[in-house]
Chain A
Amino acid sequence: MNQLLTFIRKEFLHVFRDRKTLLMLFGLPIAQIVLFGFALSNEIKNSRIAIVDYSKDAVTTQLVNKISSGNYFDIQRTLQSATQLETAFKKGDIRMAVIFPANFSTDLVHTGKAAIQVIADASDPNLATTITNYITRIVNDFNTQTALTAGRPLQIVPEMQFLYNPELKGAPNFVPGVMALVLMLVCTMMTSVAIVKEKELGTMEILLVSPFKPIYIIISKLTPNLLISIVNLFIILVLSALFLDLHVKGSILLLTFDSMLFILTSLSIGLLLSINAKTQQAAMMASLMGMMLPTMLLTGFLFPIENMPLPLQALSNIVPSRWYFIIVKKVMLKGLGVTAVWKETLILAGMCLLLFAISLRRFKIRLQ
């Protein structure tokens, strides 16, 4: 035990004496928060939506057909009542709901004017804006078209309602993304260098010829990185609360627990890279190239995963940050509890265990 503590203490000394790396570790989350303030917009296809039609007349049927005819929306036909909508939104099954009230056709016949209700999940504000714009355009189109055939103008007005993020702030979407990206990068990069550095300096030779067990070496290497990453997590949370007015809606404890799980998964990836790499540079490059791109592209915070070709969608399943991103969105933005994220949590835990076990097995007890 004393041995392990001394080893961990030594690892902390390495970290604190390397000022440049330290600056990068804590500068990265801050820079990312600032940079991603300007999120990107993008086209959306096949968004899952629900249509609840209480009127069920000729006009609504026509309009529903028109909405479903393009490839913008994928209508979830199973959802037939407003009561089902909330759970569907919370589970992320649908992005938007269009509701035709029961008095829709009577209003339209008597006054020539009727309203439909459009509810969008705005935790991803870009997506919400884009898909509500689509709906507005389709309805307006429908208005002018029927005006030509019927001879008198129809006035169907979509009334927008944004859930979770009514002001359509960009922050709610990119903060979980930044959390996933920063934690992933910092963890894999720091750890990937850790073991290969000892190999490069030759100190691994002495460590191997000692009573010290490989598992202790691994634990000592991971501990400082785990603590630093947790500090980083809280820096991000405090920054977003202070400057972006984004507070954690759900349980902080749950968020911290899942974050630690994600951190451990990322650390295990770094460990695996470190054990297989020959030089520090190779390990750095592998963690930057191999981790940064998949994390950015396949997590779902820059580009919605449902828009991707199927092979990429399948590939995104093995990217840990994808699951973590879902968890953070649910817990932080929607305020959901364990029951909503147990599946993602289990997936992360499984990945973490698997990666750690592989690393431990592949740890070389000899030089070659």
Chain B
Amino acid sequence: MITVTNIKKTYNKGQVTALKDISFSADKGELFGLIGPDGAGKTTLFRILTTLLLPDQGEANVNNYDIQKDYQQIRNCVGYMPGRFSLYQDLTVEENLNFFATVFGTTIKENYDLIKDIYQQIEPFKDRRAGKLSGGMKQKLALSCALIHKPSVLFLDEPTTGVDVVSRKEFWAMLKKLKQEGITILVSTPYMDEANLCDRIALIQKGEILSIDKPAGIVKAFPGDLYAVRASSTHRLLQNVRNYPNTATCFAFGDALHVTFKTPGSEPTALLDHLHKKDHPDVAIEKISPTIEDCFIHLLKN
């Protein structure tokens, strides 16, 4: 379990603020997600919690150990997978795993069942040097190495960045299983679609937490109704919808525009009429339920 209270961190003698007054907590066996764009402060937070950096202010505990005083105890019991691939490129897959197992005072055999699902996929390449693996395989190896000593808390900094869609799915399925083993997992990702797979998420932006809730709770908190607008000439459509006086927000999401209105009511039909006049004969509007991404953008706006 993790508790973070009013953590503040600056770089370059206070010129660059990475984290301002961050507080949250994750329970034992919880899969907690940090969702935010690049540069939001996710990695800094991971480094503080893994005792690699000291915060300027605030306190944090991991497994009831203080990150400053009891750093050695924390280092003994957590698993950490940094955002950048950090294994020995000139060692083979098996040598890497063996090394990290031994450093943590265990063996591959002892905890094999914990890593079996992921490690089996890279086992055919166990004699290959880690530097020669594909991106997804590297991440799987890194996760195996972070898990091999059966940590009670697992820190995963953007584990799925640069990984193909299928591997990402498998990766998250793995995390679900680890959670059932009672392992607390703090995971960060820039992918909004992965947010739904967490128990709870914190939306983080520019060193501040915008909202902490279950994914469903965050979606529920979205104010008003959201509409998807589709038409063939998307670019012209975006201009016209944005210029419509009663449009509150309008963002492009794939082939559709996600639109909210300043006043609720009969606005969708009014907009439809407006767009017909603006020469969009094939325009269609439907009410949709917001995604995490919609909520994130909404929170950023305010």
Residues of chain A within 8 A (CB-CB) of B91 are: 10, 13-14
Partner of B104, one of A13, A18, A202, A211: A211
Distance between Cα atoms of A366 and B87 in the complex (Å): 18
Distance between Cα atoms of A208 and B104 in the complex (Å): 11
Asked if B71 and A6 sit within 8 Å, CB to CB, the answer is no
Partner of B103, one of A210, A365, A367: A210
With both beta carbons as reference points, the residue of chain B lying nearest to A368 in the complex is identified as: B53
Mask: chain B, 45-63; 1 = CB below 8 Å from A; 0 = not? 0010011111000000000
Asked if A212 and B103 sit within 8 Å, CB to CB, the answer is yes
Of residues 197 through 233 on chain A, the ones whose CB sits less than 8 Å from some CB of chain B are 201-203, 205-212
Distance between Cα atoms of A359 and B104 in the complex (Å): 24
Residues of chain A within 8 A (CB-CB) of B47 are: 205, 367
Asked if B54 and A208 sit within 8 Å, CB to CB, the answer is no
With both beta carbons as reference points, the residue of chain B lying nearest to A208 in the complex is identified as: B52
Asked if A6 and B82 sit within 8 Å, CB to CB, the answer is no
Can you list 10 pairs linking A and B with CB atoms under 8 Å apart?
A3-B105, A6-B102, A10-B91, A13-B91, A203-B87, A205-B50, A206-B87, A208-B75, A209-B52, A366-B52
Residues of chain B within 8 A (CB-CB) of A13 are: 90-91, 95
A162 interface hit (Cβ, 8 Å) = no
Mask: chain B, 77-119; 1 = CB below 8 Å from A; 0 = not? 0101010111111110001001110111100000000000000
Closest CB in chain A relative to B213 CB, distance in Å: 29
Residues of chain A within 8 A (CB-CB) of B100 are: 206, 210
Closest CB in chain B relative to A338 CB, distance in Å: 41
Residues of chain B within 8 A (CB-CB) of A367 are: 47, 52-53
Residues of chain B within 8 A (CB-CB) of A7 are: 99, 102-103
Asked if A205 and B52 sit within 8 Å, CB to CB, the answer is yes
Of residues 43 through 100 on chain A, the ones whose CB sits less than 8 Å from some CB of chain B are none
Partner of A206, one of B51, B80, B105: B80
A3-B53 CB under 8 A given contacts A10-B88, A202-B84:
no
Closest CB in chain B relative to A356 CB, distance in Å: 22
Residues of chain B within 8 A (CB-CB) of A211 are: 72, 75-76, 103-105
Asked if A6 and B87 sit within 8 Å, CB to CB, the answer is no
Partner of B75, one of A6, A14, A202, A209: A209
Mask: chain B, 159-182; 1 = CB below 8 Å from A; 0 = not? 000000000000000000000000
Mask: chain B, 261-298; 1 = CB below 8 Å from A; 0 = not? 00000000000000000000000000000000000000
Residues of chain A within 8 A (CB-CB) of B86 are: 201-203, 205-206
Distance between Cα atoms of A18 and B89 in the complex (Å): 12
Asked if A209 and B53 sit within 8 Å, CB to CB, the answer is no
Chain B interface (Cβ < 8 Å from any Cβ of A) = 47, 50-54, 71-72, 75-76, 78, 80, 82, 84-91, 95, 98-100, 102-105, 145-146
Asked if B82 and A206 sit within 8 Å, CB to CB, the answer is yes
Residues of chain B within 8 A (CB-CB) of A368 are: 53-54
Asked if A3 and B103 sit within 8 Å, CB to CB, the answer is yes
Please name 8 further chain A to chain B contacts, defined as beta carbons within 8 Å, in addition to the given A201-B86, A366-B54, sorted by A numbering. A6-B98, A7-B103, A202-B84, A202-B85, A203-B86, A205-B82, A209-B80, A211-B103
Of residues 167 through 223 on chain A, the ones whose CB sits less than 8 Å from some CB of chain B are 201-203, 205-212
With both beta carbons as reference points, the residue of chain A lying nearest to B84 in the complex is identified as: A202
A2 interface hit (Cβ, 8 Å) = yes
Distance between Cα atoms of A306 and B51 in the complex (Å): 53
With both beta carbons as reference points, the residue of chain A lying nearest to B71 in the complex is identified as: A365
Asked if A6 and B52 sit within 8 Å, CB to CB, the answer is no
Most buried by B among A14, A17, A206: A206
Asked if A366 and B102 sit within 8 Å, CB to CB, the answer is no
A17-B90 CB under 8 A given contacts A205-B80, A206-B82, A206-B100:
yes
Residues of chain A within 8 A (CB-CB) of B87 are: 203, 206
Residues of chain A within 8 A (CB-CB) of B90 are: 13-14, 17-18
Closest CB in chain B relative to A279 CB, distance in Å: 15
Asked if B76 and A202 sit within 8 Å, CB to CB, the answer is no
Across chains A and B, which 5 residue pairs bring their CB atoms closest together, nearest first? A202-B86, A6-B102, A209-B80, A211-B76, A367-B52
Partner of B102, one of A3, A14, A206, A209: A3
Distance between Cα atoms of A7 and B98 in the complex (Å): 10
Closest CB in chain B relative to A345 CB, distance in Å: 36
Asked if A202 and B53 sit within 8 Å, CB to CB, the answer is no
Partner of B95, one of A10, A210, A365: A10
Residues of chain B within 8 A (CB-CB) of A209 are: 50-52, 75, 78, 80
Residues of chain A within 8 A (CB-CB) of B76 are: 210-211
Mask: chain A, 132-172; 1 = CB below 8 Å from B; 0 = not? 00000000000000000000000000000000000000000
Closest CB in chain B relative to A6 CB, distance in Å: 4
With both beta carbons as reference points, the residue of chain B lying nearest to A205 in the complex is identified as: B82
Residues of chain B within 8 A (CB-CB) of A17 are: 90
Asked if A207 and B103 sit within 8 Å, CB to CB, the answer is yes
Residues of chain A within 8 A (CB-CB) of B53 are: 366-368
Residues of chain A within 8 A (CB-CB) of B102 are: 2-3, 6-7
Distance between Cα atoms of A84 and B47 in the complex (Å): 69
Closest CB in chain A relative to B22 CB, distance in Å: 18
Distance between Cα atoms of A139 and B251 in the complex (Å): 102
Residues of chain B within 8 A (CB-CB) of A10 are: 88, 91, 95, 99
Asked if B82 and A202 sit within 8 Å, CB to CB, the answer is yes
Asked if A366 and B103 sit within 8 Å, CB to CB, the answer is no
Most buried by B among A3, A203, A365: A203
Mask: chain A, 1-17; 1 = CB below 8 Å from B; 0 = not? 01100110010011001
Residues of chain B within 8 A (CB-CB) of A366 are: 51-54
